Amino acid sequence: MLNTLTPEEKEREQRIIIKRLIEHYNLFYQLISFPEDIIPKVDLDMAINSLDDLERKIIILTCLEGYTYRQVENILGIPRTTIGDLKKQAIDKIVKKCMEI
């Protein structure tokens, strides 16, 4: 199937997979082997560590540790809407970093 995709379609699929990987980090790390033709080998820990401090905390708390936005709001003292915006921004940065590799 992937052999029939255009380079643009393949990149779009890679971006989708990386976003899902970040959102379900622990599950993917435990259960899935990544086909190299779909997603390049990436070091998600390196990509996460390259984030700004607040973005990294939000990704760790929401994606890796499973905290809700309300819990993160209480921990970090920032509004849930800001948490959502920063999480989306952080995921976009991680995807971009992973696509560079």
Digit-by-digit pLDDT tens for the chain (101 residues) are 446 778 888 778 877 777 777 777 666 555 555 544 445 545 777 888 899 999 999 998 998 888 999 999 999 999 999 999 999 899 888 888 877 75
Instruction: Quote the pLDDT of residue 71.
Output: 96
Contact status, residue 17 vs residue 39, Cβ threshold 8 Å? yes
What's the Cα-to-Cα distance from 51 to each of 26, 38, 48, 59, rounded to whole Å?
A: 19, 24, 6, 9
pLDDT at 84: 94
For residue 43, the enclosing domain spans: 2-100
pLDDT the model gives residue 37? 47
CB within 8 A of 63, min separation 6: which ones? 22, 23, 24, 25, 87
**What local confidence, expressed as pLDDT, does residue 38 receive?**
46
**CA separation for the pair 7, 26 (Å, rounded):** 29
Q: How many domains does the chain have?
A: 1
User: What's the pLDDT score for residue 33?
Assistant: 53
